[in-house]
């Protein structure tokens, strides 16, 4: 594992567990097992490091959503919650912590959420055999809501959203 990958992996764990603001550079250097000079050389600033973390998170998350049906979309979220944990959306949490005032983070969040919206729209279209922007928006809201509700309800929240999505898709087909 190269130094940048090691740093991003360590930083993601800390940012995900403790948040962006509560994770200091000392904690990051310790977790990554590198000097602050090496950390700054590979990541630049803390905000740039967070943007790298979000980019890697986006890559992993979107790869799981390479599916053809809405049911599989929610199955992927159930799997994500099981493997990664249920702490809500790291993108939205980092945006909320920084108030949208940190350009590197705001840009990473905007790019991810736009790509995610497009992926959901594509999955809905694939599942129905036609585009349905209203249904895609409904599925997106169910997915986002389940992600947040899983924080306190666990995977049951995702299962409930999956059932609701099946009803919505059934109505769209009839």
The closest of 79, 95, 74, 83 to 15, measured between CA atoms, is 95
Q: Which of 34, 132, 151 is nearest to 81 (CA)?
A: 151
Structural domain boundaries in the chain: 47-173
Handedness of CA 106, 141, 127, 77 (dihedral sign): positive
Per residue in 36-63, pLDDT (tens digit) is: 888 888 888 899 999 999 999 999 999 9
What value, to the nearest 5°, has the Cα angle with vertex 151 and ends 92 and 55? 35
Spatial separation of the C-alpha atoms in residues 129 and 43, rounded to whole Å: 43
Cβ proximity of 123 and 70 under 8 Å: yes
> What CATH architecture does domain 47-173 belong to?
Orthogonal Bundle (1.10)
User: pLDDT tens digit string along 101-138?
Assistant: 999 999 999 999 999 999 999 999 999 999 999 999 99
DSSP state of 120: H
Give the integer Cα–Cα distance in Å for 165 and 171.
10
In this prediction, residue 1 carries a pLDDT of 67
Q: What percent of the chain has pLDDT over 90?
A: 86
């Amino acid at each position: 594992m190269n130094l940048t990958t090691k740093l991003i992996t360590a930083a993601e764990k800390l940012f995900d567990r403790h948040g962006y603001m509560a994770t200091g550079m000392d904690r990051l250097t310790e977790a990554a097992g590198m000097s602050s000079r090496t950390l700054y050389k590979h990541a630049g600033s803390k905000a740039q490091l967070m943007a790298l973390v979000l980019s890697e998170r986006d890559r992993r998350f979107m790869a799981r959503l390479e599916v053809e049906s809405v049911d599989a979309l929610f199955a992927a979220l159930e799997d994500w919650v099981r493997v990664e944990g249920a702490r809500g959306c790291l993108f939205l949490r980092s945006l909320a912590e920084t108030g949208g005032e940190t350009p590197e983070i705001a840009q990473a969040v905007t790019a991810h959420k736009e790509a995610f919206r497009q992926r959901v729209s594509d999955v809905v279209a694939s599942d129905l055999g036609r585009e349905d922007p209203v249904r895609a928006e409904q599925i997106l809201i169910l997915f986002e809501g389940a992600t947040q509700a899983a924080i306190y309800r666990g995977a049951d929240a995702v299962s409930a959203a999956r059932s609701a999505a099946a009803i919505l898709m059934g109505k769209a087909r009839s």
